[in-house]
Amino acid sequence: MKLYRTKNGNFAEDGGKFFRVPETSWDLLVAHKDLRGYLRSVMKNGKPAADFAPARLEAPIGSQEVWAAGVTYYRSRSARMAEAKDAGGGDFYDHVYTAERPELFFKATANRVAGPGGSVRIRHDAKWSVPEPELTLLINPRGQIIGYTVGNDMSSRDIEGENPLYLPQAKVYDRSCALGPCILVSSDPLPKETEIRLEITRSGRGEFAGSTTLAELKRSPAALVAYLFRENLFPSGAFLMTGTGIVPPDDFSLAPGDTIRITIDLIGTLENTVVQ
Ligand code: DO4
Ligand code: MG
């Protein structure tokens, strides 16, 4: 079952049929004591809606903060170690990959998040910008995973590599994050063979394509959530991006006009264009 946020209200979908959700507050849906049960009853008692409009999709976020985990895939560890080597920061990434405590960082507030079909930004003071396709968890205020979406943790690799202390500038800026197209409403862990795919096109031509699976994710989503909720309250719930396992080659940097498509099995495809 999927939950969509649109300019025209919230919709639940199952088996290709869409149902309008009477609850219009996204925050109340996220905080619901049984979101899945509530949406089931909406679908059981309602009629399929004729006014669901995919072109009017919005990012599936209300007042939730977006947080992110880093260096949770071996591919990310290697990329980070290489980019930070000259600054003497390479070892940090090796240590965090094997440490018990994960790397968690603040990523975005809702106003910084692009939705499906929207534009994501690259910084004008960055020379090396990449998308990071990440399985993203939706967590309710009680610390329970209630769904999954597709996330893009846009990153400035030259700024991050110059000095690990520049991480917040490499990661947090307007529209440095994209979420969507929907929430896969489920508390069950996704299968390890779930594939994450990234395609970047420039002027209509394929520029980069890569993929990974959740089998490569070193930490469990539940363990990441447990760390995030250790000393933080999230009255509206939170999103947690689980890290990237796909890194384009070092000579690749995003450019204005590029199209980024990220697909995660069972959830869907998030597409955004790049602006500067
Ligand atoms: O340590 C820097 C951030 C890494 C990251 O965002 C990732 O691995 O996805
Ligand atoms: Mg990332």
Helix (H, G, I), strand (E, B) or coil at 161: helix
Is the alpha carbon torsion for 209, 213, 216, 217 positive or negative?
Answer: positive
pLDDT (tens digit, 9 = 90+) per residue, 235-269?
A: 999 999 999 999 999 999 999 999 999 999 999 99
**Tokens matching residue 56:** 């009017």
At 97, give phi and psi (nearest 5°): -65, -35
* Selection from 192, 196, 176, 175 nearest residue 267 by Cα: 196
At 135, give phi and psi (nearest 5°): -60, 130
Q: Which residues of the chain have pLDDT under 50?
A: none
Residue 54's pLDDT is 86
Q: How far is the CA of 81 from the centre of ligand 1 (A)?
A: 11
Which numbered atom of ligand 1 lies nearest the CA of 167?
A: 2
Residue 10's pLDDT is 97
Which residue, judged by its Cα, is nearest atom 3 of ligand 1?
Answer: 70
Whole-angstrom distance, CA of residue 151 vs CA of residue 186: 17
Residues with CB under 6 A from ligand 1: 68, 70-71, 76, 80, 103, 132, 153, 167, 243-244
11, 3 Cβ separation under 8 angstroms: yes
Angle between helices 74-83 and 90-98 (to 10 degrees): 160
Residue 87's pLDDT is 85
Q: How far is the CA of 30 from the centre of ligand 2 (A)?
A: 23
Whole-angstrom distance, CA of residue 206 vs CA of residue 261: 11
Which numbered atom of ligand 1 lies nearest the CA of 132?
A: 9
Residue 227's pLDDT is 98
* Selection from 108, 94, 59, 120 nearest residue 261 by Cα: 120
Residue 90's pLDDT is 76
Which residue, judged by its Cα, is nearest atom 9 of ligand 1?
Answer: 243
Identify residues whose C-beta is under 5 A from ligand 2, the ion.
Answer: 132, 153, 244
Residue 86's pLDDT is 86
At 111, give phi and psi (nearest 5°): -70, -15
pLDDT (tens digit, 9 = 90+) per residue, 135-145?
A: 999 999 999 99
pLDDT (tens digit, 9 = 90+) per residue, 63-86?
A: 999 999 999 999 999 999 999 888
Which residue, judged by its Cα, is nearest atom 6 of ligand 1?
Answer: 70
Q: How far is the CA of 68 from the centre of ligand 1 (A)?
A: 8
185, 38 Cβ separation under 8 angstroms: no
Q: How far is the CA of 186 from the centre of ligand 1 (A)?
A: 25
